[in-house]
Structures are given as C-alpha cells and as structure tokens.
C-alpha cells in the first residue's frame, strides 16, 4: 500500500501521510463490549509471538519414479529450502519457496528414479501438500509410476491414476519436526 502511495503522491499532494492502527486499538474502540474486552488479549498474544520467534526445520526426501514429478506446499506459513548437506546434483531439478520439481526433460518419455532432499521451514504447525507426477506406466506399459515424500519420518505416496493430467494427490495435516529452532533476538 505504501508503494502505491509513493507512486501517486505527486498526483494527489494533499495526501501527505499515512498511518496504521494496531488491531487491538481498533478493537478497544468497538461498541461491542465482547470485542473491546478482548483487545488486551490480542495485544498480549502479538507481543508474545514477536518476542518468542521460532522456526521448525524438517528434513524431507522426495522420491519420483515417473517421467516428471513435484511436491507443492499448500500451507502459506511454510516454505521450502535446499538441504545444504545434500545439494541437488541435477540441472532438471528445481527447488522454489513452495515446490520441488523434476521436469523430466532428460527422461525421453521413460521413467526414471529421481531423489531430492530438501527442508521445510515453518512455525511448527502441520503442512498440507500436493504430490503430482506424470505417466503411470513405464516404457513397457507396466503401471508402476509413483511420487512419494518422507516428511518427519512419515511417508506420503502418490500411486495410481487420478483425474487430470497431473495425477495429483493431496495430503493434509502432515506433521513436521516438533523441535523448534529458536531465532535469537
């Protein structure tokens, strides 16, 4: 919002400042006593969260046996990063903030086994994921394609054929490492 204001401040010079108001201040001003009485609780919760930041790091392994595959995080408070202890050695594998994928460019329409180690970083809450992959059959027509991920020693497996070209399967509330890595202040 501030960036938008900066772009237009010469067109509307009368708008010279902008401010924000804390949610608990807005709540205190509410005519609803239930809302105004909870303002201090919301402020205390905010102050506790910002003074006690912690992140949870969960080592994961994606194993694809298909002609392409990927995992996507569906939880906005989580993100993916490379495992520096097990770097990706392939040019056709990508790791983004919310996905790990293998393009299958060099597979020549044949199944290959591709394994990628990565880390999920989040606030410790469970994560939701989508596992997608290509064809279910190998070059002989044997239905054996799969895409699986191990998150905190639990295996989530995508096998068989689903509707759509992505063969996607969704897994919800996947547990992550409960041990927090505390960020020092």
Each of the 185 residues of the chain gets a pLDDT tens digit; together they read 667 766 776 676 666 666 788 999 999 999 999 999 999 999 999 898 778 767 899 999 999 988 889 999 999 989 999 999 999 988 889 999 999 999 877 656 567 889 999 999 998 999 999 999 887 655 565 567 889 999 999 999 998 777 667 788 999 999 999 887 754 33
Determine the longest span between alpha carbons in the chain, in angstroms: 72
pTM score, whole prediction:
0.68
Q: Sign of dihedral through CA atoms 28, 33, 35, 41?
A: positive
pLDDT at position 146, please? 87
Q: For position 67, what pLDDT does the model report?
A: 84
Q: Locate tokens 């960036």: which residue?
A: 3
Collapsed DSSP state (helix, strand, coil) of residue 27: helix
Tally of CA atoms within 13 A in the half-sphere of 76 that contains its CB: 0
Check: CB of residue 113 under 8 Å from CB of residue 64: yes
Q: Do residues 98 and 79 lie in contact, with contact meaning Cβ atoms separated by under 8 Å? A: yes
Paired with 129 in beta bridges are 73, 171
């Amino acid at each position: 919002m501030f960036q938008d204001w900066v772009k237009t401040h010469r067109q509307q010079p009368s708008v010279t400042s902008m401010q924000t108001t804390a949610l608990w201040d807005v709540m205190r001003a509410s005519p609803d006593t239930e809302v105004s009485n909870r303002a201090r609780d919301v402020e205390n919760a905010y102050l506790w969260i910002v003074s006690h930041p912690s992140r949870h790091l969960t080592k994961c392994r994606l194993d694809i046996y298909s002609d392409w595959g990927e995992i996507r995080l569906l939880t906005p408070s989580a993100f993916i990063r490379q495992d520096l202890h097990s770097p990706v050695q392939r040019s056709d594998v990508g790791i983004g903030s919310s996905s790990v994928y293998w393009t299958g460019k060099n597979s020549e329409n044949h199944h290959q086994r591709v394994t990628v180690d990565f880390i999920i970083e989040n606030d410790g809450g469970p994560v939701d994921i989508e596992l997608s992959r290509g064809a279910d059959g190998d070059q002989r027509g044997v239905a054996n394609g799969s895409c699986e991920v191990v998150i905190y020693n639990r295996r989530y497996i995508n096998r068989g054929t689903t509707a759509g070209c992505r063969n996607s399967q969704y897994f919800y509330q996947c547990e992550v490492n409960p041990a927090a890595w505390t960020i020092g202040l």
